[in-house]
Amino acid sequence: MSDTDVKPSTATFDQFGLAPEILKAIDEQGYTTPTPIQAQAIPVVLTGRDVMGAAQTGTGKTASFSLPILQRLLPNASTSASPARHPVRALILTPTRELADQVAANVRSYATHTPLRSAVVFGGVDMNPQSDELRRGVEILIATPGRLLDHVQQKTTNLGQVQMLVLDEADRMLDMGFLPDLQRILNLLPKERQTLLFSATFSPEIKKLAATYLRTPQTIEVARSNSTATNVTQVVYEVAEGDKTGAVVQLIRERGLKQVIVFCNSKIGASRLARSIEKQGIVAAAIHGDRSQNERMQALDAFKRGEIEALVATDVAARGLDIVELPAVINFDLPFNAEDYVHRIGRTGRAGASGDALSLCSPNEKKQLADIEKLIKRPLTVERLVVDAPAVHHESGSRGRHDRGERSERSAHGHRRTGSFDRPHHRAQAVDEFFLKPYEPSPSARNAADDTNVTNNTVTPQKPQSKQPLAALLGGLGASWRNKPSSSSSN
C-alpha cells in the first residue's frame, strides 16, 4: 500500500482527525499508538474509498474499520428516541457468533461517548430481544449472515439506508458456505455505498468476490499475505496418533500453561479430548458447533477469567477470540485447510505480545504439514516428542458406544445437560460384596422343592405340556398347517 502519508512509525490517533468523543474512548481503552494496519487503513476509509485490508490476525483490524465508521456517521448522530432517526447506516458481517460478539463489544466501547447506537444479532439465541432492540433503531449493526436474513424476513430491520458495509473475515464466510446468503444481503443494499473487506488471508475466491462487489478498491497489506506473526514461536512435534492426548497433557504441565487453547478438527474429538485431559487433573472445557450459544459464551467467559486452563475448540473459535496475553495454542489436529493454521495460531501473540504455537503431527498428517509450510512459505521446526506417560483415552474404543453416550447427555432440544463446561464428574460407588457372590438357594426354598418333586425317594415326573411348533407360532408351516383342524375348533 501506499497512497497515504501516515506512517506506522510516526502516526498517532490524533493525526487522523477523529472526533474528541472517539479519541476519549480510545484513550480509555489504553491505546497509545495505532498498529500498522490501523495507521494505513483508517485514513483511506475516512475518504470513503473501498478497501481490501490484509493483516496478520491480532493486529487490530477491528479498529481499522470501526473507528472511521464512527467518525463518518457522527454528523448524522441523533439523541432522538424516535427509531426513524436511527436507521441502519453501517453493516458489519462476520462468519461466527464469537467474532460478531467481539466486534460488537469493541464498537460499543469506541462509541460510548457518542449518541450512535449499535446492536449485534447472531443465531443460537432468542430472536425476540434482538428484534426489540432493532425496532428501537440502531445505526451500526453487527451480524452473522443467517440471522440477519431472519430479521429481514421478519421485517425487524431495513437495509435500504446502509452507507457502509464491512465483510470481516470474508474468506471464512466463503469456507462456511455463506456465499448465497452474502449475495442475498448485498442485493438488499444500496448500490452507492462504501465496502470494506478485511481478512488475515486473501484467497483467489476472495479476490473474485472483491472484483464483483467492490469499486476500484485499494489493497492494504501490512505483512506478506498468509504470513504468521514473527513474535509467535512455532514448533511441530512428531507423535504417534495414540499418544496425542498424553502429549497435550505433558506439554501443558512441562510448560506450566494455565491458559491454552487446544484445536481439534471435529466436534466429537473436541468433546473427547476435553474429558480425557480433565481426567488427568487439567480443568478443561469444549466449545464447538453442537454446544448452545449460551454454553459457548459461558465457557469463553470462564476461560477469560482463568477458571478454565484448557479450552478445547474446533475452528469455530479460530476467528474472533481475543484473549489478553494468551501464552500458547496447541494444534491437537493439524487443520485440513492450511489457512486455518494462520488463524489458529493468531489467537496467541496478539498486540505485540509473544506466544507459542505448538502442533502435534502424526505420520498420517504429513500432507497437511506440507500444505501449511507451502502457504506460509517457510519450513517449520519439527521435533520428536517422547511422551513419558501417555494418557489413557478411555473413550477411543467404540465410536458407537461414545455416540450413544453423547445422545444420552442431550435434552429433547439437543442441548447438553452435564454442566456448563462439558465436565461430567464420575464418582466410584461402594459395592456390597453380597451382590458379587453366586446364587445359593435358601434352606426353605430347597425344602419346598423337595416336598413338591420327591415322594418316597421317587421323583414325580412332570406332565408334559403340549406345545405348538415354534415355526407355527411364526407362521412358517404354510397353508397345510393353517387348514388343519385343531382339537379346540372341532368342538
Can you spell out the DSSP letters for 415-455? -B-S-TTS-----PPP--GGGGSPP---HHHHHHHHHHHEE
pLDDT of 438 reads 63
Rounded Cα distance between 471 and 486, Å, is 16
| Phi and psi at residue 89, to the nearest 5° | -110, -20
**Residue 112 near residue 66, CB atoms below 8 Å:** no
Beta-carbon neighbour count of residue 82 at 10 Å? Answer: 9
Contacts with 416 (C-beta within 8 Å, 6 or more apart), sequence order: 291, 292, 295, 409, 410, 422
> Which strand (E) or helix (H) includes residue 43?
helix 36-46
Q: Where in the chain is the domain with CATH 3.40.50.300?
A: 13-221, 232-408
Q: Answer yes or no: pTM beyond 0.75.
A: no
- The predicted pLDDT at position 361 comes to 95
Residue type at 1 in one-letter notation: M
- Full pLDDT tens readout for the chain, 491 residues: 333 333 444 678 989 999 999 999 999 988 888 988 899 999 999 999 999 988 766 678 889 999 999 999 999 999 999 999 999 999 999 988 888 988 999 999 999 999 999 999 998 889 999 999 999 999 999 999 999 999 999 999 999 999 999 998 877 787 777 889 999 999 999 999 999 998 766 778 888 888 888 999 999 987 655 556 667 889 999 999 999 999 999 999 999 999 999 999 999 999 999 999 999 999 999 988 788 878 888 888 899 888 999 999 988 755 656 676 788 999 999 998 888 888 888 888 766 678 899 999 999 999 999 999 998 888 998 999 888 865 544 444 334 333 333 333 333 334 433 333 344 444 444 555 555 556 566 665 555 555 545 444 554 455 555 555 555 555 555 544 444 444 444 44
Cβ(31)–Cβ(13) below 8 Å: yes
What's the pLDDT at 334? 94
Fold held by 232-408: Rossmann fold (3.40.50)
Of the candidates 26, 159, 36, the one whose C-alpha atom is nearest the C-alpha of residue 89 is 159
CATH superfamily for 13-221 is: P-loop containing nucleotide triphosphate hydrolases (3.40.50.300)
